[in-house]
Chain A
Amino acid sequence: MAKITYVEHDGTEHVVDVKSGMSVMEGAIKNNIPGIDADCGGACACATCHVYVDEAWRDKTGTPSAMEESMLDFAENVEPNSRLSCQIKVSDELDGLTVRMPESQH
């Protein structure tokens, strides 16, 4: 279990508990948090679950796969700390994680 803070583009914060084993994307969808669309449901096929990972958490969330990097390379408003949240698995290690959302996923 990890407490994760999702920050919408307008600054609205949502703090929720997400079960270990789920992805950061699933944590948002199951809690109906706006700003993460996840059209493909976690297949790394759409890049509509784009988030910015707070600097302090970049190591713990791991490095993106070649497929994820390739998708991110062509998404909009990409920053060095951009990730696809469907590819970040939640564990106790991520308790306290904060992710921020881009202005739009489409």
Chain B
Amino acid sequence: MSEAEPRVVILGAGHAGGSAAAFLRQYGFAGPIVLVGDEMVAPYQRPPLSKAWLKGEAGEDELMLKDESWYAENGCRLLLGVSGKIIDRAGKTVSLSNGETVAYDFLIIATGARARKLPIPGADLKGVLELRTTVDAEVLKAALGPGRRLAVIGGGYVGLEAAASARKLGSEVVIIEREARCLARVACEPLSSFFQDYHRKHGVEFELAAGVEAFEGEGGHITGVRLADGRVIRCDAALVGVGALPNDEIAREAGLPCENGIVVDLEARTADPAIFAIGDVTWRPLPLYDRPFRLESVPNALEQAKQAASAIAGRPQPNPEVPWFWSDQYDLKLQIAGLPFDADSIVVRGDPDSAKFAIFHLKGDLIQSVEAVNAPPEFMMGKQLIAARRPIARDRLADPTVSMKEVAA
């Protein structure tokens, strides 16, 4: 009798956790897998919830990572509506909210992030919404349509995408942002201006540099958002999109080092060699930028799912990737490669008025990141140049008549 196959337990059945199970099987891992998720649905893609799904252009089937039958057919026990409670590192077991205790040889923590709440009066009124899960998305969708008015608190990507989708469905939309511009924390001024103008052209109103004091309601349902200056913005629903917090409590309680998320290495391994962490919940190294960071993105979830699955299955590690992101709003496709750490200048290539341009963030003559709007060549080649750490000539980069292939040559 050969030695028993190792057992894997995955806490969290989102994009990261579901993908880790799938990659383990792709890589030939034959041991039992237990996949534990606190939602009532099998792993699915979250990005469409603010985009194609919200607009009714993609159905629920298209959201699912795998058919629900895949898990049973592939030796993966899927526990839905269940969460991990306590990790016993010495005994290598996890106790679960359903009363069970499961043993592991390798544990993967993929508990993701949760929406940050606004601790203000009225936050518990009906119609004060967030957008993380299919349940949230159903409630949001039901609140949209002609004659309805949506207030979006927070002009980040989720807020802007939801605003664009809400306009498509006929809702009135007002975006309320604490900073002086939308995307203030994640994008540069020219990109913020471009998106604000584009949304205004599509009928979205903005309240910028506006603090939110309270949600006002009647009969338990929201009727408006009260701003710091005393004005009340009338609405039928308010979507709060003010960032996310890592669900790293279970790791902290188990004594695993955490910063803004669970600290992992380039194989997605925590300080405990038997425990990995992947996806939004991790504080991970970024070798290209020589620092750790917490990324909230599907490409990051997939990259780390591959890292953990490769380590467990005894395969060589995948090649490191340049972090990247995308956003769809109206007819705009925004693609971002890299992060603008340490950048000392920007180069705008193309004309924002044409809705086809790219903004490069440079550190000296190295590209740190690129934000490309309807500009795939700039995104694709920019991503390759970031990975290669290859210096570029700024004047050629700024000249759209010089092709990206020539810029890179």
What is A's interface to B at a CB cutoff of 8 Å?
22, 26, 29-30, 32, 34, 37, 39-47, 67, 70-71, 73-75, 104, 106
A26 to B380, CA, bound (A): 23
B65 at the interface (CB under 8 A from A): yes
Enumerate chain B residues within 8 angstroms of A29, measured Cβ to Cβ. Answer: 65-66
Enumerate chain B residues within 8 angstroms of A104, measured Cβ to Cβ. Answer: 319
Nearest A residue to B321, CB-CB:
A106
Establish whether residues A71 and B376, one from each chain, have CB atoms under 8 Å apart when the complex forms. Answer: yes
Enumerate chain A residues within 8 angstroms of B52, measured Cβ to Cβ. Answer: 43
Nearest B residue to A26, CB-CB:
B62
| Given A32-B66, A39-B298: A45 touches B335 (CB 8 Å cut-off) | yes
Enumerate chain B residues within 8 angstroms of A26, measured Cβ to Cβ. Answer: 62
Tell me, rounded to whole Å, the shortest Cβ–Cβ distance linking A65 to chain B: 11
Establish whether residues B47 and A43, one from each chain, have CB atoms under 8 Å apart when the complex forms. Answer: yes
Tell me, rounded to whole Å, the shortest Cβ–Cβ distance linking A10 to chain B: 13
A30 to B376, CA, bound (A): 27
B371 at the interface (CB under 8 A from A): no
Tell me, rounded to whole Å, the shortest Cβ–Cβ distance linking B383 to chain A: 9
Enumerate chain B residues within 8 angstroms of A75, measured Cβ to Cβ. Answer: 380
CB contact list, B109-143 vs A, under 8 A = none
Establish whether residues A74 and B26, one from each chain, have CB atoms under 8 Å apart when the complex forms. Answer: no
Tell me, rounded to whole Å, the shortest Cβ–Cβ distance linking B255 to chain A: 33
B276 at the interface (CB under 8 A from A): no
A37 to B22, CA, bound (A): 12
A42 to B65, CA, bound (A): 12
B318 at the interface (CB under 8 A from A): yes
A contacts with B: majority SS: loop
| A-B CB contact pairs (8 Å), 29 listed | A26-B62, A29-B65, A30-B66, A30-B67, A32-B25, A32-B66, A32-B70, A32-B74, A37-B302, A39-B299, A40-B299, A40-B326, A41-B45, A43-B47, A44-B333, A45-B326, A47-B380, A70-B376, A73-B376, A73-B377, A74-B376, A74-B377, A74-B381, A74-B384, A74-B404, A74-B405, A75-B380, A104-B319, A106-B321
Enumerate chain B residues within 8 angstroms of A37, measured Cβ to Cβ. Answer: 302
Partner of A106, one of B318, B326, B377: B318
Enumerate chain A residues within 8 angstroms of B45, measured Cβ to Cβ. Answer: 41
| Given A39-B298, A40-B298: A32 touches B376 (CB 8 Å cut-off) | no
CB contact list, B320-377 vs A, under 8 A = 321, 324, 326, 328, 333, 335, 376-377
Partner of A67, one of B298, B302, B333: B333
Nearest A residue to B322, CB-CB:
A106
| Given A30-B66, A46-B324, A71-B376: A41 touches B48 (CB 8 Å cut-off) | yes
| Given A26-B62, A32-B70, A32-B74: A43 touches B328 (CB 8 Å cut-off) | yes
